Amino acid sequence: MSADQRPRVFVARRLFPEVVDRLRPHFEVDYREADDPMTAEALMARLQGCAGALIAGTEPINAPLLDACPQLRAVCSMAVGFNNIDVPACTAHGVLATNAPGVLTETTADFGFALMMATARRITESEHWLRAGRWLHWSVDLFAGSDVHGATLGIIGMGRIGQAIARRGALGFGMKVAYHNRSRLPAEEEAALGARYLGLHELLREVDHLVIVVPYSQQTHHLIGAAELDLMKPTATLTNIARGGVVDDAALAQALKARRIAAAGLDVFEGEPQLNPALLEVPNIVLTPHIASASLPTRRAMADLAATNLIAALTGGAPPTALNPEVLERRG
Ligand code: DGY
């Protein structure tokens, strides 16, 4: 195929050059080698005439954009979370949407576990204090936190990543694992993980360390707010690696300030990269900038999977992780 017959695709963010190079033999590539997010208007303008887009979890793909970009046939995200993509609208417009599950499971579970441990054992709080030159003597309860081993680990959202965290807790740290999920796992999977299913309120009352991994949707918006935090033990910790908005950050900041729970670890925030300023004022919190999947090999694998999906979607192949495969079936 000559260069000018190739479909045009837009790569919305700076990626690994070797991944972008994989696209070039198939497509005319408009590569936006930048890290700042695009406005909806800028994205719409840039997608004019494009058959495909390679995006991250930040670019909004919705009905107005799809109406304005009639040539679009595939939108491939390198994130597993796809709350930025209106999948039913894509299906209605005949646009194939893909995400990137699987390749980031273990890396993200490592991070979730690390953030939970850092929160329980007050790692960053004590480091800030040490760096401030305040370490003058040893004392018996100096930054005494709570144990992770043997404690009850509560997981909200028992998909791939939730299950990988459960395995770390049960097998590595002898934790008692309980979980809440939209649908209960089959009995044999629960037995293999040593995980007990509990209703949300029961789980919140019982848990020592809560890890939230549930996808964001209208149904999970502020799933954890003031009333839910009130159910937790004052010694409990909360770790959120899911999406901003699943936890009510203002309510969480208040609960931490009042020591209604012991501590929190947050990798995701409502309105990120802006943070609720109240979160910055409480000491009993560990904050990270949405990096749970950020090991180099994993980020490369995520981008690679998005490229594989895009190539397959626009060259008559089978994209491995389609969110709406019925679009391809309709294309025949
Ligand atoms: C994901 O893949 O959903 C991660 O949160 C990165 O956006």
Residue labelled with tokens 């947050």? 266
Q: Distance from the CA of 108 to the center of ligand 1, in angstroms?
A: 9
Q: What is the mean pLDDT of residues 218-245?
A: 98
Q: For residue 3, name the pLDDT band (cuts at 50, 70, 90).
A: low
Q: What is the mean pLDDT of residues 106-135?
A: 98
Residue ranges and CATH numbers for the domains of the chain are: 3-103+296-331 (3.40.50.720), 105-287 (3.40.50.720)
Spatial distance between the Cα atoms of 281 and 265, rounded to a whole number of angstroms: 14
Q: Distance from the CA of 119 to the center of ligand 1, in angstroms?
A: 21
Spatial distance between the Cα atoms of 287 and 143, rounded to a whole number of angstroms: 18
Q: For residue 5, name the pLDDT band (cuts at 50, 70, 90).
A: confident
Return the pLDDT at 45: 97
Does ligand 1 come within 6 angstroms of the Cβ of 81? Answer: yes
Closest CA to ligand 1's atom 3 = 81
Q: Distance from the CA of 81 to the center of ligand 1, in angstroms?
A: 5
Return the pLDDT at 332: 73
Q: Indicate the residue type of 192.
A: A
Catalytic residue from among 6, 222, 272, 300? 272
Asked whether 275 and 45 are in contact (CB, 8 A), the reply is no
Q: Distance from the CA of 290 to the center of ligand 1, in angstroms?
A: 8
Spatial distance between the Cα atoms of 215 and 127, rounded to a whole number of angstroms: 32
What is the position in ligand 1's atom list of the atom closest to the CA of 99? 2
Catalytic residue from among 167, 243, 260, 299? 243
Asked whether 38 and 12 are in contact (CB, 8 A), the reply is yes
Asked whether 9 and 28 are in contact (CB, 8 A), the reply is yes
For 31-65, the pLDDT digits (tens) are: 999 999 899 999 999 999 999 999 999 999 999 99
Does ligand 1 come within 6 angstroms of the Cβ of 237? Answer: no
